[in-house]
Structure 1
Amino acid sequence: MSNDWEKLAGETGEAVTSNRIKRMFKLGSMGARVAASSMASKIGSILPGDAEQREDNLKRSNIKNAGRVVEVLSDLKGASMKVGQMLSADPELLPPEFADVMSSLQKDATPMTYTTVKAQIERALDRPIETIFSYFDPDPVGSASIGQVHRAVLESGEEVAVKVQYPGVADSLESDLKSLKTMLIYGRAFVDRKRLDELFAEIERMLLEEANYEIEAETLGRFHETLKDHQGLRAPKPYPKWCRKQVLVMEYVHGTKLDDALEALEDGPRRQRLLERWMTAYYWMFHELFELHADPHPGNFLLEEDDTLVMLDFGSVKKYDPAFPDCFLEVVDSTWQNDPVRTIAAYERLGFGAKDGDLSKIDPELMQQYQELIVAPFMRNEPFEFGGWEPAKETKRFMLRHPSFMKLVPPPEAIAYLRVLSGIKGLLGKMDAKVNAYTMVHDLIERRGLLTPDP
């Protein structure tokens, strides 16, 4: 049996550190350097001298520290890299120049060597790799936080994508999270404690699911069947026979990453149509399927030649009771109706609130003002310009003026949904999109039978 690909493999890529002690040492060393550098920069920024020079020094320090973090997290991957990705995705958590460097973690990570890939596959499937594939590309087509993807052909002739998990991801999950959280709390280099607690709770839930590819294969199969008759949107077919906790085999899709495809298009009807299709895919999942693909990064979508969107990466999919997404629609409708008392009641049913869950101190009139900030795209029946919309900054200023709104803390169940909304807003803003989001949500609320009738 031919396995000529192995002759071409070489040893490109990097070995992945799976030893817990080594991982903790790397994280600890990096954290100490970043914390010390950040402290020195903060002290320098308040000393007498030229303000412009102090600001420039602080920016250069942030860029240097970000480079240190990216280098270590790219090497360790797993939970460590996922933390870096999520930090870089939230502009409120990082200085702009820090986020610019950290955003490289959102792109392809440094891959592991072919020797490691082969060992992972053979260990998971308990047979030589050449008895499974007639061809296996030693170079990955993509690599991310907990695994990388290779193009291959099964012995039966089907062209497939093979996702292979980095060694030690599941075993190192708990220790990685504990080390990173301790480091960030101690150094307090770029996050606050409250946001950090919410972030790590979400990461832990997400990674526990993502680290089991058998769960992902089952979810992928369910979406593949569900989307068979859904025009313009589909999911690849999995091959359960060859799926294990560390290996996922699915149909290979020929296409272009959505963000790359959109950037190559001029602003016009086709780009508008694709953006709206991407948005409505999430509306449909959450509000009508009651499941949510909780990683909205546009790199998780491929665009085929006929403009079909193909959803990838089903490692983090959350199911909801229908009452939960319906309540979010009621929040929007009550804002339309200028009924802030109803809005507050809906937030309470959703579980928003500080530890006591009491939102009674929030002024209803202020709630209406707050809502008009965060649901601005849905307030008027006209295209909304997402390019200049900065809800995070606006709401932060609002909360500083009205501290009672700091009680409006989202429940853990909402974090995945809010992350998706943030991801959608991020791409629309990046594309300077102008989308009539009002009509999308109005039609959705009407279909769900939740629209308040006109008087």
Structure 2
Amino acid sequence: MQSASPDPTQAQMPPPGPPPFSEGETASRKQPPLIVGMLRDGASGGQRAQFTAVLAFIDAILRGVEQTAWAFRDVADSAVDVWDSAQTDWQRLSDSVSTTAGKLAPMPARLARLTSAGWTLTKIASSYRLYPTRAAFLPRKVGKRLLESIHRKNAKRFLDTAISEGGGFLKLGQLISSRPDMMPAIWVDELSSLQDAVPTEEFEPLKAIIEEDLGASLEELFLSFDEEPLAAASIGQVHRAVTLAGLPVAVKIQRPNIRAAFEIDLDLFEIFIDSMKSMFPPTDYDTIMRESRAMILAELDYEAEAGHLGRASRFFEGLEGISSPRPVVALCGPRVMTAEFVEGRNISVVLDELALGREAGDPATEARLSLILNRLFEGYVKQILDAGLFQADPHPGNLLVTDDDELVVLDFGCTKTITRETSDLYLKLVQLMVLGDVDGMTAALGKLGFKTASGDTKSLRGLSERLVKKLSELATPGKGRAMPTSIEDMLNEAADILEEISEDPVTSLPDEFIMLGRVMGTLGGLFAHYKPEIDYSAVLMPILGRAMAN
């Protein structure tokens, strides 16, 4: 049934008075009629046109909020006005899409997700965009407190959305919580709880995925299969089973329709980050988002993960005290991955117990705690510099400790490969750090792909000087606690670096460094919390010696 099209000018926001814009800027405010047209085109077009229209709609809200904020209108009222004015066209789009042939099942859920998550991001963006105007009329200290309040409120908004929506927002929240260089400290602290806040999935849809991917019934594939999950993550969940040959295994099954949810979430988050760059610490957000998107979507390929896991388990066979389970290739598919089951406990649980023993004066627990974290440090250094690939998601849920204190690295869905040439450049960089060669380090950072806004190397040199000071301590015998002594110290160091280079920020980063930063941030948090006694030189020097010999 057709209905009369409303006057497109009804979607425009009436100016609250003489607009403080130039003629060109005023013209840029006339977005709604264009957006209405795009929405109608999307409603009658294919899937690509629909997504383009919906994303344009979200972007229009962001633009509208930004423009009205600069016109000194109350942000909440402005956002609601924009939303209400487009409500009719939004409903028409939703109704049309829901009846589009071939898309009856997935599209309404996707639109509901866009409505909920997009509106949350709109509120976050609008509150930040109004902040400079509000702060201009406040004393500096009051303005600082206001910004902290905005950070806290918005981090909680994002946390609630990540928990309720799951999917890409949950994964991105987990990533943010390990990146103090990317987001304000309040966000990092608030989102850290997402490492454990993952709901489980009903078993029947997962059973259907197993049988579809592996081409047989569950009874024909496994001797036994526990329907209660061992663990749940943003992408899938893990169940214990026994193969027909009697091998205990862990089976990871992907959540239904998770790819569609992730793609929507990533598109929305890219719009959000692009609109908020001026409010966050200066860095290469384009590379961060590109690499994060590639990494997250790569995690959906369980067959590739099985290949990475097999390669890692073979590499760890040459290291003492660290391993990864071997995959059972015959029971792996695009959305199902099976690997041998390894008994162990979450590394945080074990380290917490050992830390309590250390506080009670037990030297044996101190030695065990340091041994486990030494194995973790050595395992990651050698993955990055020797193996040519590394597991890029070392949060505690992916690290087990066995009864004999062997470290087990799980989940190679988030894996980054590094070419031999790039590994050699990082080896060279570490060598130069130990030698204290700031000029050489500055040049090496440039070769790796670090670039500043101006093209000048002053900021890279400042970064090199900091790294020399910190990492030369780590490579000096006896400096067992050269890591930051607390999470606060780690965040302060990151803030100091960002402040130091703020005049000419690093605006281009090498792709692999995004994942390296995630690893360093996560491991740095563990080391800062548990404060192990480690001789870092015992790990670094043999690797550097072999590199120099070559």
Which of the five TM-score ranges fits, normalised by the shorter chain?
A: 0.7 to 0.9
Change beyond 3 A, Cα 1:75–1:162: farther
Aligned to 1:398: 500
Aligned to 2:51: none
Determine which of 292, 298, 309 is the counterpart of 2:396: 298
SS in 1 for 2:250: strand
Change beyond 3 A, Cα 1:281–1:82: same
Point out the more displaced range, 442-451 or 312-321: 442-451
Matched, 1:178 2:267: yes
SS in 2 for 1:302: strand
Q: Looking at secondary structure, tell me which structure has more helix per residue.
A: 2
Aligned to 2:512: 413
SS in 2 for 1:324: helix
How far did 1:212 drift? 0.5
2:284–2:508 contact (8 Å) kept in structure 1:
no
Question: How far apart in 1 are the matches of 2:500 and 2:278?
Answer: 25
Point out the more displaced range, 385-394 or 146-155: 385-394
1:256–1:302 contact (8 Å) kept in structure 2:
yes
Question: How far apart in 2 are the matches of 1:129 and 1:18?
Answer: 31
- Alignment TM-score, normalising by the size of structure 2: 0.70
Letter in 1 for 2:474: F
Aligned to 2:40: none
Matched, 1:67 2:156: yes
Change beyond 3 A, Cα 1:185–1:407: closer
Change beyond 3 A, Cα 1:178–1:51: same
Question: How far apart in 1 are the matches of 2:204 and 2:460?
Answer: 62
Aligned to 1:9: none
Change beyond 3 A, Cα 1:321–1:195: closer
Question: How far apart in 2 are the matches of 1:173 and 1:210?
Answer: 11
Letter in 1 for 2:494: A
Point out the more displaced range, 271-280 or 34-43: 34-43
2:163–2:194 contact (8 Å) kept in structure 1:
yes
SS in 2 for 1:335: helix
1:31–1:187 contact (8 Å) kept in structure 2:
no
Aligned to 1:24: 114
How far did 1:222 drift? 2.4
Letter in 2 for 1:385: A
Determine which of 89, 99, 109 is the counterpart of 2:178: 89
How far did 1:380 drift? 3.2
How far did 1:256 drift? 0.5
Question: How far apart in 2 are the matches of 1:150 and 1:368?
Answer: 46
- 1:346-385 residue pairs with structure 2 within 5 A? 346-354=444-452, 358-359=455-456, 366=462, 369-373=465-469, 375=471, 377-378=473-474, 380-382=476-478, 383-385=480-482
Change beyond 3 A, Cα 1:367–1:245: closer
Question: How far apart in 1 are the matches of 2:518 and 2:134?
Answer: 35
How far did 1:142 drift? 1.2
Aligned to 2:125: 35
How far did 1:442 drift? 2.2
Q: Which runs of 5+ in 2 are unaligned?
A: 1-105, 359-365
Cα deviations across residues 69-104 of structure 1 (Å, max 9, x unaligned)? 223223433322221111121224444444333112
Question: How far apart in 2 are the matches of 1:38 and 1:226?
Answer: 47
Aligned to 1:126: 215
Aligned to 1:426: 525
- 1:236-315 residue pairs with structure 2 within 5 A? 236-266=325-355, 267=358, 268-315=366-413
Change beyond 3 A, Cα 1:333–1:33: same
How far did 1:230 drift? 3.1
How far did 1:315 drift? 1.0
Determine which of 328, 331, 345 is the counterpart of 2:426: 328
Determine which of 216, 236, 243 is the counterpart of 1:154: 243
Question: How far apart in 2 are the matches of 1:188 and 1:394?
Answer: 19
Letter in 2 for 1:416: M
Change beyond 3 A, Cα 1:398–1:240: same
Question: How far apart in 2 are the matches of 1:334 and 1:205?
Answer: 31
Matched, 1:436 2:538: no
Q: Which runs of 5+ in 1 are unaligned?
A: 1-15
- 1:129-148 residue pairs with structure 2 within 5 A? 129-148=218-237
How far did 1:206 drift? 0.9
How far did 1:424 drift? 1.9
Cα deviations across residues 222-266 of structure 1 (Å, max 9, x unaligned)? 223333353211111211111111111111211001122112113
Point out the more displaced range, 252-261 or 346-355: 346-355
Aligned to 2:88: none
Matched, 1:79 2:168: yes
2:436–2:468 contact (8 Å) kept in structure 1:
no
Q: Percent identity?
A: 27
Change beyond 3 A, Cα 1:132–1:337: closer
Q: Which has the larger radius of gyration?
A: 2
1:17–1:23 contact (8 Å) kept in structure 2:
no
Change beyond 3 A, Cα 1:367–1:131: closer
Change beyond 3 A, Cα 1:150–1:363: closer
Letter in 1 for 2:234: S
Question: How far apart in 1 are the matches of 2:261 and 2:208?
Answer: 19
SS in 1 for 2:531: coil
Cα deviations across residues 4-23 of structure 1 (Å, max 9, x unaligned)? xxxxxxxxxxxx99943232
Question: How far apart in 1 are the matches of 2:521 and 2:549?
Answer: 24
- Alignment TM-score, normalising by the size of structure 1: 0.83
Question: How far apart in 2 are the matches of 1:196 and 1:113?
Answer: 36
SS in 1 for 2:451: coil
Question: How far apart in 1 are the matches of 2:107 and 2:530?
Answer: 37
Question: How far apart in 2 are the matches of 1:180 and 1:335?
Answer: 36
Cα deviations across residues 374-403 of structure 1 (Å, max 9, x unaligned)? 535435332233215533123123224xx3
Aligned to 1:5: none
Cα deviations across residues 132-153 of structure 1 (Å, max 9, x unaligned)? 2343222221111211111222
1:353–1:410 contact (8 Å) kept in structure 2:
yes
1:236–1:250 contact (8 Å) kept in structure 2:
yes
Change beyond 3 A, Cα 1:174–1:381: same
Change beyond 3 A, Cα 1:359–1:158: same
Question: How far apart in 2 are the matches of 1:231 and 1:427?
Answer: 21
Change beyond 3 A, Cα 1:46–1:235: same
